[in-house]
Structure 1
Amino acid sequence: MIVSLGGGPFDALFGGGNLPAFVLGAIAAAISGVLAFTVLPSPPPDAPASSGAMGFH
């Protein structure tokens, strides 16, 4: 959300175009993915592995 709000001024800072905001968004997404795997706790081994997918029948 921060990247999308600051994208316009950030692009103007680097001379226009959308590439700087896209690169910043990609970096933010990569950092978020790494943090999701490292910081978030994993479920205990005895937790039931239930899926939330159901059919609409």
Structure 2
Amino acid sequence: MRAWQGDRVVITKADKPYLNLLPHVDTPQARKPGGLKGKIRMPADFDSTPEDIIEGFEGRL
């Protein structure tokens, strides 16, 4: 119950500290655009999908 209230809790094993239970602190991180720059490549024919593939996705088979 104390961990839910934000207190640090020490769990012991054989009378020795074994594990620290700490309250979670949410630290939102700002998004940094461009993290995958140069790692993703689009093929030259990306926009020319064959009609049978499109029909398969749209359920017209």
Give the alignment's TM-score, normalised by structure 1: 0.28
TM-score scaled to structure 2, two decimals?
Answer: 0.27
Q: Which of these two proteins has the greater Rg computed from alpha carbons?
A: 2
Q: Give 1 or 2: higher strand fraction.
A: 2
The structure with the greater share of residues assigned to helix is: 1
Q: Which has the higher contact order (CA 8 A, sep 6+)?
A: 1
